[in-house]
Structure 1
Amino acid sequence: MDKIYHILKSAHSGWRYLVLIMLVLAIVQALAGWLGKKPYTEGNRKFNVFTLIFVHVQILFGLGLYFLSPLVQAGIRYWKMEHIGMMIFAAILVTVGNARSKRSEDAASKHRTIALYFGLALIVIVASIIQMVQLDPTRTFWGVS
């Protein structure tokens, strides 16, 4: 079990960079489309779906860690409550944003919905990572822990 825990921990730590990059790119693309009055293309839709998938994979890594981590089993509140709660909330924001953008009629509304929901999710994720760094000085925002 210890080996699986370390593999999941490394995957979860490394995958966060891909999630952050995908979210930032999706937000920039949505803002450019919204403010530039650009059409919502199939490429936009696919990129948003890939971003959603990356976030969901990260949640799966995190849930695996939740059940294997000695930090959670030791009862450390941040890991048992705040971190997982904030991350699941961020994943819900991404999921709802993607679903709502599909239902929107015009391109501006689709872009605005993605920018809003993905942007809020990014804020929640970054806040959770900052909180983690403050609670555990052995971890860094950009360092693989």
Structure 2
Amino acid sequence: MKKLHIFLLVAVAAAIAILVSYSTDLTTYDTIDSAKNKPGQFVHLIAKLDKEAPIEFDPVKNANYCSFTIVDSLGATSKVISYKPKPQDLEMSERVVLKGRMEADGFYCDDILLKCPSKYKDDMNAAQNKLEARNG
């Protein structure tokens, strides 16, 4: 075999190894019920903050503890426990993406990503109202 062929085979093998290693990081969002069926496994949840339930966060007592309740798109609820400070604007978020593990007493969250409402939503409503006023 020529040196070029050996080099190309090694390069292809390395590329395949890299793709396989990155494919383990690809995940999908779980529901609360499916996460409960995978206790202790790392999952991603997407849900809404239950605004009726209280948010437990007391920075004087423990600044690195926050718990709140979420509701997923199927209506299931779960308590979320995070050992990090409460994210700013949690109450204003439209959705939350949570990374962590489901246990018997709740979802232990390692990372929280807030999906806030669009700043353009009010502008779109105003534009729609102007359009209706012109046509109506």
Give the TM-score normalised by structure 1: 0.24
Greater Rg over alpha carbons, structure: 2
Whose RCO is larger (CA < 8 A, sep 6+)?
1
Task: Tell me the TM-score normalized by structure 2.
Answer: 0.25
Instruction: Flag the structure with higher strand content.
Output: 2
